[in-house]
Amino acid sequence: MKNILALFAFILIAATAQSQSLTQADVTGTWLVVNVENNSSNPKLAAAMQHAVINLYADNSFEIKERQQSGANYIYSTTSHKNATWNFNPGTQTITTNRANMTFKISKTGDKVFFTDQQSGLKFEVNKPI
């Protein structure tokens, strides 16, 4: 009986972990930063990334656009390096970039997706508006 309960618990945990894994196709696209957590760890970067757009294109090119206020309107300024690329590791659920030297750990809690910058410790709640 103990073995059956242990097996059932293992299957339940494995199914939950598998359902939260993302694929490269899931990650590819435009992501809008809707919230920055742990912003005291790097306030300057946190402020810059508030409402930023992260583009992970299908050709593996990569860009970050920061939202900046221009009078009453907002404009987006590209802050990533030209010819920057990204790679996704499905085993570790991480995105690495070559020129910006950023590594994002992807996690999913319910319907929320988070990109955690491994260098700064900032956790970005993101959604895919497009």
How many domains, in total, are found in the chain?
A: 1
Does 48 map to a domain?
Answer: yes
Q: List all residues 6 or more positions away from 20 whose beta carbon is below 8 Å from its beta carbon.
A: 107, 108
Using only C-alpha atoms, the chain has a radius of gyration, in whole angstroms, of 17
Answer whether residue 12 shows pLDDT above 50: no
23-49 per-position pLDDT tens digit = 999 999 999 999 999 888 888 888 888
Does 1 map to a domain?
Answer: no
What CATH code is carried by the domain that includes residue 37? 2.40.128
Query: What average pLDDT does range 52-57 have in this prediction?
Result: 92
Does 102 map to a domain?
Answer: yes
Does 52 map to a domain?
Answer: yes
Does 93 map to a domain?
Answer: yes
Does 51 map to a domain?
Answer: yes
Does 9 map to a domain?
Answer: no
Domain encompassing residue 66: 23-127
- Asked if 109 and 12 touch (Cβ cutoff 8 Å), the reply is no
Average pLDDT of the residues of the chain: 82
In angstroms, rounded to a whole number, what is the distance separating the alpha carbons of residues 26 and 112?
13
65-84 per-position pLDDT tens digit = 888 766 656 667 676 667 88
Does 69 map to a domain?
Answer: yes
Structure tokens at 16: 């939950």
